[in-house]
Every structure is written in C-alpha cells, then in structure tokens.
Homo-oligomer: A and B are copies of this chain.
Amino acid sequence: MLIECIPNVSEGRRPAIVAAMADAIRAVDGVRLLDYSSDAAHNRSVFTLVGDAGGVERAVLALFERAAVDVDLRTHTGEHPRLGAVDVVPFVPIEGVTMADCVALAKQVGAAVAARFQIPVYLYEEASANPLRKNLEDIRRGEFEGLAAKMATAGWAPDFGPASPHPSAGAAVIGARMPLIAYNINLATDRLDVARKIAAAVRHSSGGYRFVKAMGIRLEARGIVQVSMNLTNFEKTPIFRVFETVKREAERYGVAVLESEIVGLVPSAALNAAAEFYLQIEGFKAEQVLEHKLRTEL
C-alpha cells in the first residue's frame, strides 16, 4: 500500500531547522522522504513522502512536533498565504489504496494532531463534506492574522480541536486529494491574448473543465506563449481531452500547438489513458502493463 503525503510547512529561510524536520521524517519506520525543498520568498518548505498509512501518519505527527518547537506564526512573514506552522497536509492515493482510505487517514491524523498538540484542524478537498470548506483557498482566506476572528464566525468551527487558534502554530488544513499534474502547452505564437483566451476556455473558474486551473503566460526567452495548467483530477478531466481542446481553440486563432510539457511527476495511469484514447484501445486493463504485473506479482 502506497500513500503519498506532501506537507507544507511555514519555514523556508532557516535551512538547519528545515533539515531537522527532514531528519525527523527520515527517522520514522514505514515511510520514505522522497524530496524536500524550501522557498525563501514564500518562507515555506514542501516535503514529499510516501509510505503505508501508519508510516505517513507517524511522519506527519513527527513533523508537527518539530514545527511546534521551531515555527512561530506570530513572527512569520512570507509571500505565500498560510494559516499554521504545518500549514497543509494532503494525502494522495498511489497504489493499492483508495481515495476513501486516504479520507479516513486524513480524519484520523486530524484528530490525532488536535488531541496531541491542541491545534485546530480543518479538513479539505475529498476529506471535507462541506462544499464551503473544500477549497484550500476558502479555508485559508484571512490567513493566520485573521484566523481568530474567522474561527469565531458561524460555519468556521474546526473539524477537530480547540475553537480558537493555537497561539504560535495557528491551525492546520488536512485532507485527501488526487495527484496533481502540472501540464503546460506551448503555442507557436507570441500573442499573449491567445494564450489567455485559451486558458479561460479550459479552466473551471471561467466555465471550462471542472478539474483544470489555467493561465496564459509569456515565455520571454523563447518569444512564445504558454497555457500553464494544473490538472487536479486526471481521471475525471483527462490530459488528452484538455490537450485536444487547447489545440482546437488555438486553431480558431490560426495558431498551432508547438509542444506540451509535464512538469515533475505524472501517474502512469494518466499517460496510459492518453495512449488508450489515441490508439482506440478497447478493454485495456492496468494489469496488462508489464511493470504493473511484475510489481504486484513480485
């Protein structure tokens, strides 16, 4: 069973403190720290870990323990919005585990964080049953500085823990979501208006596909423009459909797709779905992928 967990911590300027957090994760059995990186302008670090349910739970609690000692939101500054010391903790199903399992884990970890550290916890995304509290942006609006007032208003009691913020650690947002795919399509033009119109056509917020976030940007060095996207649920809004729509919209302006790019990691199921679509493969099963078969048999 493999669950990915990507905790975001409000500390990105003191490397020794961040390294101590990484060490605390590494010391946990049943989990592996794949990567971590810090952004000084955001004053924020992102850890990527994988393991079984027990392993990722223990690692997240160990991280809260370090952050409780080393991070104080009362003196924290940075460009990125944040509510708490350990700000956001998403659990992502990877292999041999369902979204329902990850939702259950988010609730269990949320309850444990609240009980052990007296930190209020909000559930988000798939772990939240309340449509007003599914989006991270909605929960985080007002940030740490506005948190005490927000928590006192109707509808903002936390899912777990005390009714007011932890003095130094604020609150935490814990949940479950699908893997994100960072997917960009470069257009053979320097017309930013075209990239922006296409981004508006495909993104959810302006009437496009439900699981697409998109913006049009200029790639100055290359003299071209890009539709820069996050695909937040590749099963329900697949890559190939987004690609074909962008391509068709670009045609309308006489513009060709130059290339696309996947930034960072992509689940193999997302690529397989594209192969299935274009090759018109009927009755394809994940078990037919040689490496999948070997992984499950060995």
Contacts and interface: CB of A to CB of B under 8 A. Distances in A.
Interface of A: 2, 4, 32, 34, 50, 94-95, 179, 239-240, 243, 257-262, 264-268, 271-272, 274-275, 277-284, 288-295, 297-298
A82 B239 CA distance: 47
18 contacts: A34-B294, A34-B297, A50-B298, A94-B291, A95-B294, A179-B290, A240-B279, A243-B278, A259-B281, A265-B289, A266-B288, A268-B290, A268-B291, A271-B271, A274-B278, A277-B278, A291-B291, A291-B295
A288 B259 contact: no
A51 B267 CA distance: 25
Given A94-B294, A291-B95, A294-B50, A282 B260 contact: yes
Contacts of A289: 265-268, 271
A63 B293 CA distance: 23
Interface of A, secondary structure class, is mixed
B50 A94 contact: no
A227 to B, nearest CB: 13
Contacts of A288: 262, 264-266
Contacts of A240: 278-279
Contacts of A295: 291, 295
Contacts of A4: 290
A298 B33 CA distance: 10
Given A94-B290, A289-B271, A291-B95, A298 B266 contact: no
Nearest to A297: B34
Contacts of A297: 32, 34, 50
**Listed residue (A179, A260, A264) with the most chain B CB atoms within 10 angstroms of its CB:** A260
A34 B291 CA distance: 12
A241 to B, nearest CB: 11
Contacts of A274: 274-275, 278-279
A5 to B, nearest CB: 13
